[in-house]
Amino acid sequence: MCLIDTHTHIYDNQFSLDRNETVQRALDAGVKMMLLPNVDASTIAPMLELHEQCPDCTRVMMGLQPEEVKEDYKEVLSTMEKELECGIYVGVGEVGLDFYWDVTYEKPQLDAFETQLDWAKQLHLPLSIHCRNAFDKMVKILEKKQDGNLRGIMHCFTGTEEEAKVYLELGFHLGLGGVTTYKNCGVKDYLPNLPLDRIVLETDAPYLSPVPCRGKRNEPAFLVYTAHRIAEIFQMPLEDLATATTTNVNALFRF
Ligand SMILES: [Zn+2]
């Protein structure tokens, strides 16, 4: 079996004591590839270090996560833009909008997001997009920017069927993670109505562990639980779901 974790932060210091073992457990579980989205200026070095240690099973993305957009965001973005020139990055992420905790940096978030959407277009790279409490503004920006050249993943998608369809119509894939395994998550009710060729899997480790590991530190090996649940929802064998979602990632990222 071959699964791809399209969004994992295992360079985070929550893995400093067992990072190598974490990677090994992922490989043993069938998670053969892990895509690493950046968060802020401080995460670039540890992310690249992990990629150097595990060049075969990791790929790196570059971007400024919306919750980390602060006063200095323009400087941070210029560092990241230079970093993207080296050509090792397979995507722009994680980027997006997050107005869950506060809206102090709403304007800078919108500006940073638009800038990073432009990078993705210029470099022909897919995006890993984070969106929380910002659906209307997100759609407005994506509609404005979509000229046929934007593609990517709505990471940790947990919205309604209508929201899912809006993103699909805009040309995006849906990244499903541990939340999909939670009892109160509505995605399972309409998931079989969605095109399987637009679904990809992720952990968002160390966050949002799937059932039966909910509450624990998440890690890529746990992707199997999410995959198992989604295979159940689509009423198909796990192997087939793994093949389908891996094919989707390979096509989207042009691996
Ligand atoms: Zn993330």
Quick one: pLDDT at residue 102?
86
Instruction: Output DSSP code: residue 40.
Output: S
pLDDT tens digits, 139-149: 999 999 999 99
Peptide bond into 52 cis (omega under 30): no
How far away, in angstroms, is 193 Cα from ligand 1 center? 26
Quick one: pLDDT at residue 211?
97
List the domain range (segments joined by +) for residue 187.
3-253
CATH code for the domain of 74: 3.20.20.140
B/e letters for 193-223, b = 16+ CB within 10 Å, e = fewer, are ebebebbbbbbbbbbbbbbeeeeeebbbbbb
How far away, in angstroms, is 204 Cα from ligand 1 center? 5
Quick one: pLDDT at residue 82?
98
Quick one: pLDDT at residue 80?
98
Structural domains counted in the chain: 1
Quick one: pLDDT at residue 18?
98
Backbone angles phi, psi at 244, to 5 degrees: -65, -50
C-alpha closest to that of 44 among 19, 65, 74, 21:
65
9 Cα distance to chain centroid: 10
How far away, in angstroms, is 183 Cα from ligand 1 center? 22
CA distances from 34 to 134, 166, 218 (A): 27, 27, 14
Q: Identify the residue whose tokens are 């209307």.
A: 136
Contact between residue 88 and residue 60 where contact means Cβ atoms under 8 Å apart: yes
How far away, in angstroms, is 177 Cα from ligand 1 center? 11
How far away, in angstroms, is 209 Cα from ligand 1 center? 13
Quick one: pLDDT at residue 40?
98
How far away, in angstroms, is 148 Cα from ligand 1 center? 25
Quick one: pLDDT at residue 209?
97
- Each of the 255 residues of the chain gets a pLDDT tens digit; together they read 999 999 999 999 999 999 999 999 999 999 999 999 999 999 999 999 999 999 999 999 999 999 999 999 999 999 999 999 999 999 999 999 999 998 999 999 999 999 999 999 999 999 999 999 999 999 999 999 999 999 999 999 999 999 999 999 999 999 999 999 999 999 999 999 999 999 999 999 999 999 999 999 999 999 999 999 999 999 999 999 999 999 999 999 999
